Amino acid sequence: MNPVRKPLEPVHLSAGRLYLRPLVPADEPAVAAALGDPGVMRWNAGLAILSAPEAERGAMWLRVRERGWATGDSAHFAIADATTGELLGSAGIRDIHRVPQQALASYWIAPAARGRGVAAQALDVICRWGFGTLDAGGLGLHRIALDHALVNVASCRVAEKAGFALEGTMRGSFIDYEGDRHDSHLHARLASDR
């Protein structure tokens, strides 16, 4: 059964050392700084952001994510340090219920926070929320997929650590910021996975 898409009530998720909260306009300086990182730009920015003037990229990126909650299409979170509130990255799901009971995951981590398991932990928490029943405040999803360019080996490790099984390779499916095409791994996690 595919629930009717309606606005999502923004939620806050606790994850031990991490705190996941909806992104807000005050995050713009930290987002803009992250978008200045070549790794974030190459794998996460998207063509519209890439073509925007650099000074507008952070605000533009945030507007799209904020709109997702209102349309019920996506739920993007700031990954914050639970103690200091520092923005460590972002993770979320999009295309919620575009295919019944399915969504797509995405994430990026600021350079200073990489290598600490932040992305995998955040994805796990978001998946558990997404797989939760509607009555319990979840999204009632059965499957959450993600893909990454094969050359982005770190992203493959994140997916595996977060419980996303490798399902296959999608040929020529990703275009990076220089216009180069890459094959991508497709990973997915099911509500029924252990």
Give the mean pLDDT of 10-26: 93
Q: What is the pLDDT of residue 32?
A: 84
Q: How confident is the model at residue 42 (pLDDT cuts 50, 70, 90)?
A: low
Band (pLDDT 50/70/90 cuts) for residue 88 is very high
DSSP state of 141: -
Euclidean distance between CA atoms 134 and 50, whole angstroms: 36
Do 177 and 50 touch, CB atoms closer than 8 A?
yes
Per-domain boundaries in the chain: 13-190
d(CA 102, CA 94): 9
pLDDT of res. 180: 84
Percentage above 90 pLDDT, the chain: 60
CA dihedral 50, 18, 119, 54 (to 10 degrees): 10
Identity of residue 29: P
Report pLDDT for 119: 95
User: What is the token pair recorded at 25?
Assistant: 């306009």
**Whole-number pLDDT of residue 47:** 66
Has residue 1 got a pLDDT over 50? Answer: no
pTM attached to this predicted model:
0.89
132-147 residue pLDDT tens = 999 999 999 999 999 9
More reliable by pLDDT, 66 or 158: 158
Paired with 71 in beta bridges are none
Work out the average pLDDT over 190-194.
92
In CATH terms, 13-190 corresponds, of 3.20.20.150, 3.40.630.30, 3.90.1170.50, 1.10.240.10, to: 3.40.630.30
Residue 87: band (very low, low, confident or very high) from pLDDT cuts 50, 70, 90: very high
**Adjacency order of strands within the sheet including 181-190:** 13-15, 18-22, 75-81, 87-94, 102-109, 143-149, 181-190, 165-175
